[in-house]
Amino acid sequence: MTHKIVFLDRESVDAKVRAPNFPHDYTEYDSTWEPAEIVERLKDADIALINKVPMRAETLKQLPNLKLIAVAATGTDIVDKAQAKAQGITISNIRGYAFNTVPEHVIGLMFALRRSIVPYANSVKRGDWSKSRQFCYFDYPIYDIAGSTLGIIGYGALGKSIGKRAEALGMKVLPYDVFPQDGLVDFETVLTQSDVITIHVPLTPDTKNMFGPEQFKKMKNHALLINTARGGLVDEAALLEALKSGEIGGAGFDVVAQEPPKDGNILCDADLPNLIVTPHVAWASKEAMQFLADQLIDNVEAFVAGKPVNVVE
């Protein structure tokens, strides 16, 4: 049997994708977004490779031949899991690939914000230093990392990896998770005692807008919020207001509610010295992307061999 494999958004993975070890017909497209286009390109496929292409119920209903959706990411909120299950479609995802790249991005954002690196660098470009009466100036606050407290929302593999790095920097770590384990604190403690909070939970109906006006009021005025997980976890309008009013100290976001923000986004459009937004690249070190690409094909080969791995229920 020859399997038909279609990769719908190949340009989203900047790595070599090896050929599977079974008879197959492979087609790839740089980008695919419109539902009609998705259906047309997958109409004869039994294996779909996707990263962020939305696979909604109405789309899946038009794809009776589809047997596997191999997601080139950990998060699978772009797939309607109930409909996939109803059609007998297996979903696989990538696990354990971001153990360095995401923690390093989080630490990078934390340093940049705690030490106001971006606004100071921008001020030099504006000519502020050349106009200064002293050898330096203090227009933006600078805080040490050592001795501060990091709250981690979601204490899985990524959360623990970040925690180890934070402890090595002299930080106190306050981990929170809904799954019981030793050493956890409650959500309220993270909010009220952390100097930096980083989010590492999936986007579900329960976690949508888990950070909003009520949570920002409980945070320290100099506290930072870092989100490299999913944009929908934070009420963006409330965050922007909290940043402008000084209710919290700063934010570093690698994700927004709608990606790409084709119609604009209030965080992307804001010009604030205490806000850094990067274009969903925390996961994208060269090493991590190659690990991901290799595991993507591992998942496909395991499924075809009748021994599926990394299955999402």
Using DSSP, state whether 261 is helix, strand or coil.
coil
Helices (H) and strands (E) in the chain, counts: 12, 11
Q: Is the dihedral of CA 293, 294, 299, 300 positive or negative?
A: positive
Using DSSP, state whether 211 is helix, strand or coil.
strand
200 is catalytic: no
The DSSP result for 74-128, as a single string, is S--TTB-HHHHHHTT-EEE---S--TTHHHHHHHHHHHHHHTTHHHHHHHHHHTH
The edge-to-edge listing of strands for the beta sheet with 47-50 is: 24-28, 3-7, 47-50, 68-71, 90-92
Written as one letter, the residue type at 29 is Y
Q: What's CA 54's distance to the chain center, in Å?
A: 16
Residue in 280, 287, 301, 313 annotated catalytic: 280
CA angle 119, 125, 129 (to 5 degrees): 85
Which residues, listed in sequence order, are joined to residue 130 by a DSSP beta bridge?
Answer: none
- End-to-end Cα, the chain, rounded Å: 27
Long-range contacts of 290-294, Cβ-Cβ distance < 8 Å, separation of 24 or more: 290/15, 290/16, 291/97, 292/13, 292/15, 292/72, 292/73, 292/94, 292/97, 293/13, 293/15, 293/16, 293/17, 293/18, 293/72, 294/18
Contact 76, 70 (CB under 8 A): no
Residue in 165, 230, 236, 247 annotated catalytic: 230
259 is catalytic: yes
Residue in 11, 40, 214, 259 annotated catalytic: 259
Determine which helix (DSSP H) or strand (DSSP E) holds 194, and give its type and residue range.
none
**Tokens coding 96:** 């354990």
Q: What radius of gyration, in Å, describes the C-alpha atoms of the chain?
A: 22
Q: Kindly list the catalytic residues.
A: 230, 259, 280
